[in-house]
């Protein structure tokens, strides 16, 4: 379920493993899981930890415009 996937993704994100996060994201999509703010937040964390600030900014913008998930704190 989405919670298990999010837990694994968060582990990858803490290491800054953007590639593994993206692979997991595609797996989640293939299982037709509804991605939530936790999923996007973990991907955002991975990008920041990896130092890809520009892509993190783009993801943040797409969360608001494309997905309809405003970032939450």
- CA dihedral sign of residues 36, 42, 43, 47: positive
Q: 45 with 13: CB under 8 angstroms?
A: yes
The pLDDT mean for the chain works out to 88
* Average of per-residue pLDDT across 13-25: 95
What is the value of pTM for the model shown?
A: 0.81
């Amino acid at each position: 379920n989405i919670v298990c996937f999010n837990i694994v993704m968060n582990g990858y994100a803490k290491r800054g493993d953007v590639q593994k996060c993206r692979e997991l994201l595609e797996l989640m999509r293939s299982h037709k899981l509804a991605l939530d703010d936790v999923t996007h937040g973990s991907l955002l964390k991975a990008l920041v930890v990896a130092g890809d600030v520009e892509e993190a900014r783009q993801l943040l913008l797409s969360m608001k415009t494309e997905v309809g998930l405003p970032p939450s704190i």
